[in-house]
Structure 1
């Protein structure tokens, strides 16, 4: 059965990733949307999710709006008996995501907290290679230019917008998929004088074996962008680069499947719906919450877009 789906929030991520994948998917039929500003080319675009649900015969919704407003949209969709796909991060707080999980279970619908970077081409191969290795150290560098990737997007600097953790949580989603459980021991958040969320973070973690794990996130990097995870082990060095799309082991490039992050997400969503299951992993978001709890805060110069 083809799943009739509507998108809520027709912004950059919806246009760049969700819509092309849904248009090509054998499992989904994108028939409608709800958005205050954007529009889809086929089907009616409504102003609100309430209007969309009242007017359209759909099975599922994909929520692509900022995390601060996602809870209410998800609550309404689940109450209407719709399966729900949550863009990352799944919410602005851990508790709201857990409430949605419970609501979806009670309603008998699928809730999927998606982490697209886990579907990068090199991630599963990296996880499998590391599974029987002893870790010596891990160094994560996720540094990019916010002006290039998020021009004029004020919401990312507001409370709940996550600041540099908006991309940084992608690194954490990969780390939580390929490494044993780890926890924060100390950190530093650099917050611009005119913003509510950090522009950079330097985080130190460890695991049960005492492995040093460091994550450096920065939104001020110009020129070449850095999305690397380096793992030193008893059997050599693993390097995931370019956001997980390239993998080297002891400097040797590994053969990987083509990039298909969002295709992988929607394949997973369809499989969950068919099985009557949900997937609501909040581990990456929990690490962000821990950083706000335990890391030191330092005010830095104001940031102007």
Structure 2
């Protein structure tokens, strides 16, 4: 077993600066960040200077060829997840790719195939899986406390939370808006807790009602003239085991709450809300609610990076797997396709969207 992981970063934006690099550094002697690549050299050089990263590149292919690297964090816009991940896997590196897996199902499938072919770890940045609320509830579920989970509701809604930075409102680079950006987090959390069932049919609708005009922005002023994604998406997903999920995701909607990220699960022996955690059961002829009095406070992102490093060094399976990434991509792309066609979409095990 290796005792140190040589890590490189592809993409020098905010997620690399604020999440990946600081949390790799918290791993201490287990990790050495050896290189960073970004098409904008000045951005890469700034992070290299701030975090003492010795090698800077504008071409990640050159970086992979010239530097001895064990693992890569892919922190690019969504459009570039696929090529960067494939290049890193083919170079013999483990990969932590930010969410979503890719832009299309075919890309996600090829990423999973290359990881298996290379014998390398590929995992995705679904940091909510590492939340203490999720970990506690997963133990309850695994012990049968909720029974057969047959229904769920996921919400990722902001009242006026259109990002005023980055490329989050650019469909060409991101593939979509709140569904693929924040909705994907709550959807993945629900799927993980439900055992990642195989999807069957999706029906989705999308709206662009607020983002394409000026307005109040609590996350900075957005470029409304070039707003090319949905500002709200809604959908229903059914699964081959008979379960279903209702989903709502929005960057901007006229609702009371400024920001809501929530998952609700309903099983035949119990139910639960995840954020905050509360479990609902019927026991001894009584309806009861269970809430934890204490939860660990370690950061979700910190645990995500820590566990990726551990998986790379020990060979343990990561919490998020490539197969799950494919299923999630099937659902996301299916919902967008359904919204565009105005009808429900039947999903197969192999996606060709």
TM value normalised by structure 1: 0.84
For 1:84-95, list aligned pairs within 5 A: 84-95=95-106
CA contact (8 A) 1:199 1:220 kept: yes
Aligned to 1:248: 278
Provide the alpha-carbon RMSD of the alignment: 2.7
Q: Which runs of 5+ in 1 are unaligned?
A: 299-305
For 1:7-86, list aligned pairs within 5 A: 7-26=9-28, 27-35=30-38, 36=40, 37-38=43-44, 39-40=46-47, 41=50, 42-43=52-53, 44-86=55-97
**In terms of mean alpha carbon deviation, does 94-103 or 116-125 score higher?**
94-103
CA contact (8 A) 2:96 2:125 kept: yes
Distance in 1 (CA, whole Å) between partners of 2:154 and 2:16 is 28
Can you list the C-alpha shifts for 1:115-171, whole angstroms capped at 9, x where unaligned?
2221122112222323422446422221025646x2133354313432112110001
Q: CA deviation at 1:82?
A: 2.0
Distance in 2 (CA, whole Å) between partners of 1:277 and 1:107 is 15
**Are residues 80 and 209 of structure 1, via their aligned partners in 2, closer, same or farther at CA, if it must alter by over 3 Å?**
closer
Q: 1:226 aligns with which of 239, 245, 260?
A: 260
Aligned to 1:265: 304
1:118 partnered with 2:118: no
Distance in 2 (CA, whole Å) between partners of 1:144 and 1:116 is 19
Q: Higher Cα Rg: structure 1 or 2?
A: 2
**In terms of mean alpha carbon deviation, does 215-224 or 268-277 score higher?**
268-277
Distance in 1 (CA, whole Å) between partners of 2:229 and 2:34 is 36
Q: Which runs of 5+ in 2 are unaligned?
A: 213-225, 281-288, 343-353
Distance in 1 (CA, whole Å) between partners of 2:27 and 2:268 is 42
Distance in 2 (CA, whole Å) between partners of 1:134 and 1:10 is 43
Q: CA deviation at 1:7?
A: 0.7
Aligned to 1:239: 273
1:199 partnered with 2:210: no
Q: 1:176 aligns with which of 191, 203, 217?
A: 191
Can you list the C-alpha shifts for 1:54-108, whole angstroms capped at 9, x where unaligned?
4422222111001201222222222222222211112111212222232233333
Q: CA deviation at 1:46?
A: 1.9
Distance in 1 (CA, whole Å) between partners of 2:148 and 2:316 is 37
1:138 partnered with 2:152: yes
**Are residues 89 and 234 of structure 1, via their aligned partners in 2, closer, same or farther at CA, if it must alter by over 3 Å?**
same
**Are residues 231 and 82 of structure 1, via their aligned partners in 2, closer, same or farther at CA, if it must alter by over 3 Å?**
closer
CA contact (8 A) 2:232 2:250 kept: yes
Distance in 1 (CA, whole Å) between partners of 2:82 and 2:150 is 40
Secondary structure at the counterpart of residue 109 of structure 1: coil
Q: CA deviation at 1:199?
A: 1.5
Q: 2:246 aligns with which of 201, 209, 214?
A: 214
Count of residues in correspondence between the two structures? 293
Q: CA deviation at 1:214?
A: 1.3
CA contact (8 A) 2:205 2:336 kept: no
Aligned to 1:2: 4
Distance in 1 (CA, whole Å) between partners of 2:105 and 2:160 is 25
Aligned to 1:128: 139
Can you list the C-alpha shifts for 1:5-63, whole angstroms capped at 9, x where unaligned?
11111111111211111011143211221122343221233222133234422222111
CA contact (8 A) 1:184 1:291 kept: no
Q: CA deviation at 1:248?
A: 1.6
CA contact (8 A) 1:83 1:109 kept: yes
Q: CA deviation at 1:185?
A: 4.2
Distance in 2 (CA, whole Å) between partners of 1:213 and 1:294 is 15
**Are residues 197 and 249 of structure 1, via their aligned partners in 2, closer, same or farther at CA, if it must alter by over 3 Å?**
same
Secondary structure at the counterpart of residue 154 of structure 1: coil
Runs of 4+ in 1 over 6 A off after TM superposition: none
Distance in 2 (CA, whole Å) between partners of 1:56 and 1:144 is 42
Aligned to 2:166: 153
**Are residues 107 and 207 of structure 1, via their aligned partners in 2, closer, same or farther at CA, if it must alter by over 3 Å?**
closer
Secondary structure at the counterpart of residue 45 of structure 1: strand
